[in-house]
Structure 1
Amino acid sequence: MDRSIYLQYQEAWDSLFSIGKPRTFNPGEIIYMQGDRDMGLVVLREGQIKNCVYFCSGLEKTVTILEAPAVSGETALIDDGVCLNSAQAVTKADVIIIPSQEALEFLESHPKIMMLLLKSYARKIRGIQLQAESTMFKVQQKLARMLINFRSYGIFCEGNEANLAITHEVLAGFLGATRPKVTEALNAFVDAGYIAKSRGYITIVDHEGLRHLYE
């Protein structure tokens, strides 16, 4: 999450960190699965997690990547339904799991924290909308749009507007494409002078060139 949002609501985050049950998940471990019920509110204190959807075909679609501090599982908490997606640790992740009833009572008595939750939820929805709008694009167009809109696409982690901290595998998960297809598209962008690549990072060199691919 944007560090400025954390500082703006630091007291609210600290309140959330003080309740619930602390758990630690190693990279790749599942925190909860889509379809789970009454998971409660998951508050990420340290590390990164991703929200994703698994399909019967074996395909995985990443929805968001969250960096601490962040919350997950709020949809099922609010509407008392099942979890719409899964949560998986990307790095070692320290989380606080707050039971549903306790979380709801806490939110009702702490309007600042409720506002924090709504802000987080709104950012996720905007990212999902951008992803949905790209559904009919080809892989290169999807990838170009994602790189240009990196901060709004549901990737809430380190990096800046020019240097994006992300791997080919994570990009493939977001785009619903295979890793070789993403690598092929990235190499084409390098050859065209749109981006430069280094281990774990992508540097955007020509914003207008990328934007021209999908507009």
Structure 2
Amino acid sequence: MSDPRPYRNELLRRMMPDDLALIEPYMTRRNLPLRAMLVTPDTPIEAVHFMEHGIAAVIARTASGHGAEVGFIGFEGMTGASLVMGDDRAAHACSMLFEGEAIRIDAVHFNAALAASPTLRLYLLRFVNYMQTQTGCTALANAQLKLEERLARWLLMCDDRLPDERMAITHEFLASMLGVRRPGVTITLQLLEGRSLIRSRRGEVIIRDRAGLIELANGSYGEAEAEYARLIGDIGAAQA
């Protein structure tokens, strides 16, 4: 790796050189297919993944198996952040929502780097703080907003992390992520398409009017994104 910052992942791009040097020898690039499990609940975390492409979703599930998305991780972040907080496992699953690529570091070497460098842990705790804000915004949206507002926010968050406006996703999968029934998602997609905000095809959603989606999101999009910029930095440069 001759380029000192050969990464798309924002955490790696902004990491202090000395901290980066601690983990670089243990980095491996991995292709991650759709639904690849990165974190299994209540099981020791084997590795962290600094996302380069694609989106991983944090999924909370009830005892009966019903689940909903409670967090998004794209090229701005990492999986397995419980290790940063001194725990070896997480309460929620994390799996690939859109296929992609990540830089993997096994937990043993990652923990050793955290122990060797207080600045590395403090830096990555900023990301943990951001994720708590994102999760709080999701909880508020789920509790207070209409489905069309929640869907607008969800699509915007995908758009932030994907290379173009096309998203290969089914109505059924959208319903499972939002924790609602499929017919509601179908009707809501039709509503957004009728407003020329998106184009919905079989197994694909295309964003046509991002500004319109932001308006429809009714204030639910933007707070977490602003917190990331405050804590870590603007992610716009990596999208260029």
Taking structure 1 as the reference length, the TM-score comes to: 0.71
Whole-angstrom distance in 2 between the partners of 1:119 and 1:173: 29
- The residue type equivalent to 1:180 in the other structure is P
Kindly state the Cα deviation for residue 133 of structure 1 after the two structures are TM-superposed. 0.7
Which structure 2 residues correspond to residues 170-185 of structure 1 after superposition, within 5 A? 171-185=174-188
Aligned pair partner of 1:201 in 206, 209, 214: 206
Aligned pair partner of 1:143 in 131, 144, 151: 151
Q: What corresponds to 1:30 in structure 2?
A: 37
Whole-angstrom distance in 2 between the partners of 1:10 and 1:155: 28
Whole-angstrom distance in 1 between the partners of 2:142 and 2:46: 31
Q: What corresponds to 2:134 in structure 1?
A: 127
1:9 aligns with 2:9: no
Task: Tell me the alpha carbon deviations over residues 66-103 of structure 1, each in whole angstroms, 9 at most, x when there is no partner.
Answer: 23463211225524253111122341544424225x42
SS in 1 for 2:208: strand
1:110 aligns with 2:117: yes
Which structure 2 residues correspond to residues 31-110 of structure 1 after superposition, within 5 A? 31-37=38-44, 39-44=45-50, 46-48=52-54, 49-68=56-75, 70-76=77-83, 78-80=85-87, 82-89=89-96, 90-100=98-108, 102-110=109-117
More deviation, 181-190/204-213: 204-213
Kindly state the Cα deviation for residue 52 of structure 1 after the two structures are TM-superposed. 1.4
Kindly state the Cα deviation for residue 5 of structure 1 after the two structures are TM-superposed. 5.3
Taking structure 2 as the reference length, the TM-score comes to: 0.65
Task: Tell me the alpha carbon deviations over residues 96-125 of structure 1, each in whole angstroms, 9 at most, x when there is no partner.
Answer: 24225x423312333453244123212211
Kindly state the Cα deviation for residue 207 of structure 1 after the two structures are TM-superposed. 4.9
Whole-angstrom distance in 2 between the partners of 1:111 and 1:179: 47
For the aligned residues, what is the CA RMSD?
Answer: 3.7
Whole-angstrom distance in 1 between the partners of 2:12 and 2:30: 21
Whole-angstrom distance in 1 between the partners of 2:71 and 2:114: 23
Structure 2 unaligned regions, length at least 5: 1-6, 221-240
Aligned pair partner of 1:157 in 155, 161, 177: 161
SS in 1 for 2:60: strand
Kindly state the Cα deviation for residue 144 of structure 1 after the two structures are TM-superposed. 3.9
Q: Is the 8 A contact 1:21 1:96 kept in 2?
A: yes
Q: Is the 8 A contact 1:54 1:61 kept in 2?
A: yes
Kindly state the Cα deviation for residue 31 of structure 1 after the two structures are TM-superposed. 2.6
